[in-house]
Chain A
Amino acid sequence: MSAAMQVPEGLHYTSEHEWVRIEGGLAVVGLTHYAQDQLGDITYVELPEMGAELEQMGEMCVVESVKTAADVYAPLAGTVAEVNSALEDAPQLINQDCYGEGWLVKLEGFDQAGLAKLMDAAAYTALLGTGE
């Protein structure tokens, strides 16, 4: 792993390299810096339907890069309240700003208890350090 992987404090992380940020009653979900780096240039995102009910670590969406297509999992159980439609025309936002403009999905009615199963920045950094 290169030294420059960004793992911001205050987010929750999964072992499948998704992040969650709780914001105004919604859970914002995206891919980590490490995940976008591994995927390479992202060319397409297949976003879930609005209102779709997701299970924790169930399939949420698919991200395609020049190298591969990867499933992205829901870090928490919840309902899709918003999708980042900017990604339809600009999937590269995930490579450019994965913790900001490159977010994927916002969940509502999410399962608070599920947060306990996720990692904090320190634990996720340690996971990356093990070469995963």
Chain B
Amino acid sequence: MRFTPHTPEDRADMLAALGLGSVGELFAGLPEDLRCRQWDLPQGLSEPEVSQYLAKLAGLNASGLVCFLGGGFYDHHIPAAVDALISRGEFYTAYTPYQAEMSQGTLQSIFEYQTAICRLTGLDAANASLYDGGTALYEAAMMAVRKTRRKKLLVANNVSPIYRIMLKSYTVNLHLELVEADVSDPAELERLLDQDTAGLILQNPDFFGVLRDYGQHFAMVREAGGLGILGCNPIALAVAKTPAEMGADIAVGEGQPLGLPLSFGGPYLGFMAVTNKLLRTMPGRIVGRTHDAQGRVGYCLTLQTREQHIRREKATSNICSNEALCALAAVLFLGLMGKQGLVELAELNMTQAAYARERLTAIDGVQLLDEGPWFNEFRVRLPLDARMVVSRMIDKGIAAGFPLGRYYPDQANNLLVAVTEKRSKEEIGYLAEGLEAVL
């Protein structure tokens, strides 16, 4: 590590060059009450002390649990080739590929990623990615506001509560009307839809794992002059009806299931795809394919007038970074899986989850909620507080699921259980036996 000292002599030299006597004088232009009186920082530590401290913190994590935890982020298998390929030095750059002649490899990898997202969603154009699924959802909501010049956003209450909290935080100061309601019910949607509705935000599978068809909903919102936004699970897209088939204008989602580790919540990958008519209102970078003067294929950032480095005050969004390395992991994952492989993977998720439903509902006092069809996650009601059950299961080496009481106060006994292709019949058996013992 390079160490550049900042000695008292250095500071005195700099102050002398400025004609000042002290650091206090340097900041004299700031009002007194805005200046920091003290930094609330502990004393520095030596390298071995830091290593020890971090190892101690890491030791507090419950690791190596058999994971039935989902809620928008899933424990999928990551082919070894993904990490091997993204670890190549050529891909390690924080540099935005503005200079096309220097960045053809990076640009092509982003272009291939965009193509994959378009194929998954069935929509016309995708951006180079956003920070995560929640950010992508917010950006989609803002696109609807910009495009329609309306102020009201309808959000279904079976959209991820994490994303709904993010939407609230983002929009609280924006003079928008954010309406959370049971709009996955067409009658309720009919009641709330009006000429001021900018967009309708739905999720498939919904937060409780149920696969739904929102064709009717999107037709209704289109009729009212608003836009249809669908949050989706990228692996479920291999078997579910696509956003395009349902008539959504914008599809967004969390790309973590595509070859990215859970890694304590990030970095993740927000994907976004839109219909052609929305292309110019889409935020973020977009890579295009073209030909140079000699007719050779080349890739470059395109439609950059949407971005803040061209017109800051008119930019579609202040996000102009993307998650290039995560997007690369996603396109490698999809490439390694292949079209048929992804379908098989999705089906395997469904069959393993179905087996888990069968095993869990056979337990006395465990009740299945919802009617399906499900993707790889489902809700059960337990006879006890789900949070307590989950903490007891941790002692058995199992993360049994997501206790819904955390976000839904009326669902304290409900547990959301996710079952990916990684969960063997044997592990599902442990879960069932463990739950039976705890209950």
Segment of A18-26, A62-70, A92-100 engaged in the interface with chain B: A62-70
- Asked if A44 lies at the interface with its beta carbon under 8 angstroms from chain B, I say yes
B-contact bits for A50-66, CB 8 A (1 contact / 0 none): 00000000000010100
Interface residues of A in 93-115 (CB under 8 A from B): none
- Asked if B311 lies at the interface with its beta carbon under 8 angstroms from chain A, I say yes
CB pair B314 A62 closer than 8 Å: yes
Chain A residues within 8 Å of B280, by CB: 44, 46
A-contact bits for B273-314, CB 8 A (1 contact / 0 none): 000000010000000000000000000000001000011001
- Tally of A interface residues using CB under 8 Å: 8
In the bound complex, what is the Cα–Cα distance between A89 and B149 (angstroms)? 23
Chain B residues within 8 Å of A49, by CB: 149
In the bound complex, what is the Cα–Cα distance between A110 and B305 (angstroms)? 31
Interface residues of A in 76-98 (CB under 8 A from B): none
* Most central of B280, B305, B310, B311 by chain A CB within 10 Å: B305
**In chain A, what residue has the closest Cβ to B313?**
A71
Chain A residues within 8 Å of B314, by CB: 62, 69, 71
In the bound complex, what is the Cα–Cα distance between A1 and B207 (angstroms)? 62
In the bound complex, what is the Cα–Cα distance between A64 and B310 (angstroms)? 11
A50 → chain B closest CB, angstroms: 13
Chain A residues within 8 Å of B305, by CB: 44, 64, 68-69
A-contact bits for B301-343, CB 8 A (1 contact / 0 none): 0000100001100100000000000000000000000000000
Chain B residues with a Cβ under 8 A of chain A? 149, 280, 305, 310-311, 314
Known: A64-B305, A71-B314. 11 other contacts (CB 8 A): A44-B280, A44-B305, A46-B280, A49-B149, A62-B314, A68-B305, A68-B310, A69-B305, A69-B310, A69-B311, A69-B314
Sample 13 A-B pairs with CB under 8 A, ordered by A number.
A44-B280, A44-B305, A46-B280, A49-B149, A62-B314, A64-B305, A68-B305, A68-B310, A69-B305, A69-B310, A69-B311, A69-B314, A71-B314
Closest 4 CB pairs of A and B: A69-B305, A64-B305, A69-B311, A69-B310
